[in-house]
Amino acid sequence: MNRICITGGAGFVASHLTEHFCEQYPNSEIIVVDKIGYASRLAYLTGVLRSGQVRLVEGCICDAALMRGALKGVDLVVHAAAESHVDNSYRNAAPFIDSNVTGTVTMLQAAIDNGVGLFFHVSTDEVYGGSADRLFTDEDALNPTNPYAASKASAEMFVHCYAKSYGLPTLVSRANNIFGTRQYPEKLIPKLICDALRGRKFQIHGDGSARRAFLHVDDFCSAVTTLISRGERGRIYNIPALREYSVVEVVDLVAGVIGISRDHLAGFGPDRPHNDSRYGVVGEKITALGWRPTRLLENELAAIVDWYRANTDLYFDEPPRSAGKPILWLGDDQRILARPESELDGYVSPSRQVARLTDDARVA
């Protein structure tokens, strides 16, 4: 592969994917597209941008002209950009329809227009809706029960439709919950950790009996590259974690690592309008390709807590976006360059520094 585009690369999952791709495909050029939303941090990309292998296009995946330009010469698209938080989707579904549905259709069209060789769509186990007593296979009907999941299910329908109508080679992953460093502290594990570190009390949704399987982000990254090298084009692959936990069990694990009691860390609050009890998936298709999840939450949690302890400023002490120094700027050759280490002391959206690519603009 000569050129790879990863969308959402300034967010949690796809920033790890970008690093993993740099290692796995050292001779490929990687273009990250991200609008730099509230869950993104440019700091996640500083290392890979410095390496020169990665370039960042700051922009929205719904911008058709920008995406057509960004995908010029691209062999592989890994589409992970999305609005990702269920609670936000209950408050306002509109951004989820924009980014997750319209954005996906825009990426698909740009992929067709540019003759992209493979479109890898990052979907989720939430498209199945929940079931307390059975495991889902990729042939089960989609039955989403929250607006986030409905937008992801809808996006998948377009992926399948473009594959069928235009012969676009696709792969779709439906992973369990993913955990690791850099996850925005609105999701269960980082929110628990950050609340504990900041002496705040976490509110459990309902009675905390909902069960979730947690897949380490490194396991997810290796699943993606396994599917790219050996997955059957046009297929959907569940990506299961090693084990599942109730929310209360996760609270206890975090409390144990931080060294406080469950009661000190968390209390019970109102539940979501609907909260699926469990998303169990059968992963035999990906395990048949030789991939296995390897990391257990309980073994990884201490390192993740240490990371949040060292990086709380990324989330809670941000300088206002309109002030401070930009940490990245655009070089003469349209390469986004990092400032010297001494100047990496603030985060500001680089919007004004980044020339927008147009249909005619070359990415390279």
Catalytic residues: 125-126, 148
Site string for ligand NAD, 142-181 (x = CB under 6 A): ----------x----------------------x-xx---
83 forms part of the interface with ligand NAD (CB under 6 A): yes
Q: Closest separation between CB of residue 264 and ligand NAD, Å?
A: 26
Beta strand 336-338 pairing with 135-136: unpaired
Measure CA 2 to chain center: 23
Closest distance to ligand NAD from the beta carbon of 9 (Å): 7
**Is residue 96 part of the contact set for ligand NAD (CB under 6 A)?**
no
Say how far apart CA 54 and CA 48 lie, in whole Å. Answer: 6
Q: Phi and psi for 242 in degrees, rounded to 5?
A: -70, -40
Best CA proximity match to 197, nearest among 283, 312, 298, 107: 312
Residues 32-71 close enough to bind ligand NAD by CB under 6 A: 33-37, 39-40, 60-62
The residue with its CB nearest to ligand NAD is: 11
Q: Which is nearer to ligand NAD, 260 or 361 (CB)?
A: 361
- Asked whether 347 and 324 are in contact (CB, 8 A), the reply is yes
Out of 5, 6, 11, 336, the residue judged to bind ligand NAD by CB under 6 A: 11
Which range binds ligand NAD by CB under 6 A, 6-14, 158-166, 302-310, 331-339? 6-14
Residue 260 structure tokens: 């406080």
Q: Min. distance of Cβ 33 from ligand NAD in angstroms?
A: 6
Is residue 278 close enough to count as binding ligand NAD by CB under 6 A?
Answer: no
| CB 104, min distance to ligand NAD, A | 9
| Cβ-based burial of 252 (10 A; exposed 0-12, middle 13-18, buried ≥19) | middle
Burial letters 198-211, b for 16+ CB under 10 A, else e: eeeebebbeebebb
Residue 303's H or E segment, with its range, is helix 297-311
Residues that bind ligand NAD in the complex, under the rule CB under 6 A: 8, 10-14, 33-37, 39-40, 60-62, 80-84, 99, 103, 122, 124, 152, 175, 177-178, 184
